[in-house]
Structures are given as structure tokens and as C-alpha cells.
Structure 1
Amino acid sequence: MKIIAMSIFVDNQDKAQQFYTEKLGFKTKHNIEIGGGFRWVTVTENDSNNPVEIVLEPNESPIAKNYQEGLYQAGIPVTMFGVDNLEKEHANLVEKGITFHTEPKEVEGVKYAIFDDTCGNLIQIVEQ
């Protein structure tokens, strides 16, 4: 068994696709109309052998919307991405206009920061 995809609920697929590709540097793998005004939109790491896709899934279900809003209000990141150099990545993202919920910190040898993805989620970046 292997991980092939993970979902992140978003409040706007177009905005999410733009943010994850233009701001975070991922690339679009799928962008397929599935009806009802929704699309199967996935992004992957750019220039990587990692095949895992992030599904930018609409939060149209009340359950998904409550889950997303609950995590955000509690300050809990929906997922985390690894980085090689937290300070460098933080500066790069700030330069791109990304708002940080938690500025870089170090706890027990792990450096992390949390930013807002503009689509209803907090994302944690971690340097181990």
C-alpha cells in the first residue's frame, strides 16, 4: 500500500490552484471538469520523483466546511510540508505576499512556521 493522494478542502478551486502553483511552486497534474461546476484539480511537487498528488477539493459538503473552519479557527494546520531551510523558505514566501499565522519557531530541534493558504487553511512548513 502506498500514499497516492491527499485532499485539502478549499473554498475556491481556482484561487487554490493559483496559490499552490504560483505561490508555492507546485505544478498542476489534473484539472478535469466533473460536473456541477466542480473539477478534479490536483497538484504535485515541481521537479520531483514524489508521485503524491494534493487534491484541491471543494468544501461544498457541510461536513467538509465544518471540518475546515474548525481547524482554521483552532489554529490547527491541515497538513505540513517539509523544507530544507526554514528561514530561506519563510523569506521567499513573505516576499510572495504570503501571510504567516505563526512566525518561524524552533521546538526541540524542529523548526516550523504556519501560513494561511488564502483558501481557508493553515499550512505548516517544517525543517527537521
Structure 2
Amino acid sequence: MSTGNTTGVSKIAKVIVPVEDVDRAIEFYTDRLGFEKRTDLPIGGNYRWVEVAPAGADTVIAICPPGPDGKVGGKQTGISLQTADIDAYHAQLKASGVDVDAEVSRMGDPVPPLFWLRDPEGNALMVAEVR
């Protein structure tokens, strides 16, 4: 339903994952998941704002220092990644030492085959096969 408001949200620009160790997160997202690093800027003293994303993706994952509560790790990020070949990607990540579910979950239609992975700080992301 359109409200006629032209100042609304036009896209999801970034999702944020606060981390303690930015360099370890960069290595994980780029070397293990195959993302590209798009931004790496110093912010506020010794902190950095880093953005990573799959090649060609519009929405980026910003890996950055924790917010005011100071808590990092062990979060359900709500991030869902997609792949064309879930079994091959699962095997690739598992072989490279990524913390992935033991098996691909197959619940049947309309839910696509999927599995969960965790970054080095225990933040969970879901991977689903595109249909």
C-alpha cells in the first residue's frame, strides 16, 4: 500500500555487526566467506568502521566497535545470505574451518534448504539456497 510519501525508506543500506576484533572479522568475511572489503575508515580514536559485502551486492555488512552497551558476540544477526548451490557452499565453508551447522537443513517447501554459520565471535548468520 502506498501512502504517497516520497521521503520513505528506499532500500536497506547496511546491517551492523558489532565486533571486538575488527581485523579477525575482516579476515573471516573476506577470506572465509569471499566478501569484498568496501570501506575501512578510522572513527573516534582507535576504532574503525569497515563495510564488507558480496561482489555486486547493494547492502553491506558494517563491522564496527560495540555500541554504548559494550556487548559483542553471540548475537543472532538476522542476516540471511543466499547461494545458488547450498551443498557446495556448505562443504566449502566446512572445509575452510568455518563454524557451520553439521548438515544442511531441508524442511521442505516453501522453506528453502538452509544452514547457519557463526563468525569468530559467535554471531550467527543464515545461508539459504535461492530458488
Work out whether residues 50 and 62 of structure 2, in 8 Å CA contact, stay in contact via their aligned partners in 1.
yes
Label 1:102 to 1:114 Cα distance change in 2 as closer, same or farther (>3 A): farther
* Residues 1-128 of structure 1: pairs in structure 2 closer than 5 A: 1-46=10-55, 48=56, 50-62=57-69, 65=71, 68-69=73-74, 71=75, 76=76, 78-101=78-101, 103-109=103-109, 110-128=112-130
Label 1:82 to 1:28 Cα distance change in 2 as closer, same or farther (>3 A): same
The alpha carbon displacement at 1:18 in A equals 0.9
2:34 match: secondary structure: coil
The alpha carbon displacement at 1:102 in A equals 5.2
AA at the equivalent of 1:96: S
1:105 match: secondary structure: coil
Deviations 1:44-92 (A, max 9, x none): 212x2x2222101222532x617x54x4xxxx45411011111000011
4+ aligned runs moved over 4 Å, structure 1: none
RMSD of the alignment, in Å? Answer: 1.9
Aligned equivalents of 1:11 and 1:107: distance in 2?
35
- How many residues matched? 119
The alpha carbon displacement at 1:96 in A equals 0.9
Aligned equivalents of 2:35 and 2:115: distance in 1?
19
Unaligned runs of 5+ in 2: 1-9
Aligned equivalents of 1:7 and 1:114: distance in 2?
18
Q: TM-score, normalised by structure 1?
A: 0.81
Give the greater-gyration-radius structure (CA).
2
Work out whether residues 11 and 120 of structure 1, in 8 Å CA contact, stay in contact via their aligned partners in 2.
no
Higher helix share goes to which structure? 1
Task: Name whichever of 51-60 and 112-121 sits farther off.
Answer: 51-60
Work out whether residues 4 and 53 of structure 1, in 8 Å CA contact, stay in contact via their aligned partners in 2.
yes
Q: TM-score, normalised by structure 2?
A: 0.80
Aligned equivalents of 1:9 and 1:103: distance in 2?
27
